[in-house]
Structure 1
Amino acid sequence: MGRVLKVLLFWSVLSAAYIAYQWKDTFDPAVLSGRRVLVTGASKGIGEQIAYHYARFGSQIVITARTESALKKVAEKCLQLGSPKVWYIPADMSDLEDPNRVLRFALDKLGGLDYLVLNHIGSTFFQMWNGDVEHIRVLMQANFLSYAQMVSSGLPFLKQSNGSIIAVSSIAAKIPSPFTIPYTATKSAVNGFFGSLQHELSMQKVNVSITLCSLGLIDTETALSKVKGVIDTMSAYPASGAALEVIKGGATRQNEIFYPWYWQLVCAIRDWFPGYRDSVIQSSYKYNP
């Protein structure tokens, strides 16, 4: 038993040291001044905050989401915060035509693309799976296939600018939890797609970075309303902080970022005690059959 504890301690210290190394902040806001950025899912929550941060850093921005009135307000605030140019286009990413329509609009307005920030998600329930496969199929289009569409169409232009792709994912794709089967399935697809694409771009020596963002529970109105009464033990973290870490990760061309930070350590040790891990996860949720 003493040897096992020593091994666990060694790997814990090694993981902590690696994370501490990753914490070094090399972000320079000046690199974003004048950059051409497309942000999806930008009418509220994390996407809205991402748009505001880019605006403060002086980026040119195209924002999109489903609700035009909300987009207009976000665009106006972005101009107030310092963005030299802001455009918005309402779109529904569950529509097969809208992802490419949005990308064409952004390229037309911006004259190119430096950052493609994929943040949008479709609406889903927070409940035990009811066997609705059709819902998963529809959600897959919004949460994953539209990402692949936009990357496919946008990659030639990102190659020209040596640009960056930022894909906002979830810790649920790495540590699955109950009540989120459709959502977790789509985010797992996002992780698999962009993880493989990172390898392929590197092997082809294509200078386009991909940053995969694994986020925990964020204090957006939508997220908090879904987990209310089901999860009481997990802290929600600020959307503005998450948005800033997403932007920093893309600007410094990191392969992956975690927010809050401790999820990186959790993922490093998640498979050490799978039975205990699963017990903790299940006990964190209230289930009344």
Structure 2
Amino acid sequence: MSDDHTPLDGKTALVTGASSGIGHATARLLARDGADVALAARREERLNEIADGIEAEYDQRALVRPTDVSDEEQVTAAIDAATEAFGGLDVVVANAGINREGTVEEIPTERYRSLMGVNVDGAFFTARAAIPALRESEGVLIFVGSFAGQYPRPAQPIYAASKHWVRGFALSLAGSLGAENVGVTIVNPTEVDTEIGIQDDRPAHERFTDVDSATPEAVAEAIAFAARQKPPNVVAELDFYRRNKFSNWTRDADRGGK
């Protein structure tokens, strides 16, 4: 297959939250584009299924690393294992995230800490562990943010706060790491049909009947686009939304979603 069809030929990647939704779709697209992929998430059995599918369909290596991104040691071990197995890392996608709804007065402290542990600590631990390898490869670090990190979310203040943190962190890293030839991108989707609303197992199109949600595959295409940029080019920020829903966010978005 020609380089035109495999723009990431010879490259390596790691994706967190790879067992479902955007992470799963991203891992598949990066493999489609020619990259070997390390899959990091908590559900080992599901990761093994995805790895088998990637290897069978795209003939790319897929490394499974069961990982809770809120655990610093597990994140470091996953990055180290991928770097050793692949001989380096060119793309790291900090995608893992959860959404636990509740007002400030109602949300239990344990639930608050769980959300911040995954969304904030997980992004930080992933970036910190990945930077040395990405500096070596002049690679790219991609964060999955949210429109909730740009606009108020009255119904989800904790989730919104976590995504505002991720956006500030990503844009600040872009400034500091750019001088070291490491690209940093944040992709901000609106509502996506994923499992992120873990208190409710229904997909987004059922939980939010009036929301025209995007597919994980569509968001993954935006992430793959960022991953394909060749140094010194980099896309700093990509906002991904449905054409007919942008005004909902800029006006007074108050529904759940990533």
User: What's the TM-score, normalizing by structure 1?
Assistant: 0.77
Alpha-carbon shift at residue 87 of structure 1 (Å): 0.8
- Relative to structure 2, which stretch is displaced further, 127-136 or 157-166? 127-136
Question: 1:70-81, aligned counterparts within 5 Å?
Answer: 70-81=46-57
SS in 1 for 2:6: helix
Structure 1 residues 156-201: Cα deviation after superposition (integer angstroms, max 9, x where no partner):
2211111000101111111121332222121111111111111222
State the partner residue of 2:119: 143
State the partner residue of 1:234: 211
SS in 1 for 2:180: coil
CA spacing shift, 1:257–1:228, aligned 2, 3 Å: closer
Count the aligned residue pairs: 246
Identify the match of residue 40 of structure 2 among 45, 64, 76. 64
Aligned CA-pair RMSD: 2.6
Is 1:32 aligned to 2:8, yes or no? yes
Alpha-carbon shift at residue 263 of structure 1 (Å): 9.1
Taking the aligned partners of 2:213 and 2:134, their CA distance within structure 1 comes to 34
* Counterpart contact for 1:40–1:65, Cα < 8 Å: yes
State the partner residue of 1:260: 241
Is 1:128 aligned to 2:103, yes or no? yes
Taking the aligned partners of 1:50 and 1:230, their CA distance within structure 2 comes to 23
Alpha-carbon shift at residue 233 of structure 1 (Å): 2.5
Write the letter of the residue equivalent to 1:208: V
* Counterpart contact for 1:68–1:89, Cα < 8 Å: yes
Write the letter of the residue equivalent to 2:103: M
* Counterpart contact for 1:213–1:258, Cα < 8 Å: yes
Write the letter of the residue equivalent to 1:255: A
Write the letter of the residue equivalent to 1:62: A
Same amino acid, percent of matched pairs: 27
State the partner residue of 1:210: 184
Q: Which has the larger radius of gyration?
A: 1
Alpha-carbon shift at residue 220 of structure 1 (Å): 2.0
State the partner residue of 2:220: 243
Taking the aligned partners of 1:105 and 1:138, their CA distance within structure 2 comes to 25
* Counterpart contact for 2:26–2:224, Cα < 8 Å: yes
User: What's the TM-score, normalizing by structure 2?
Assistant: 0.85
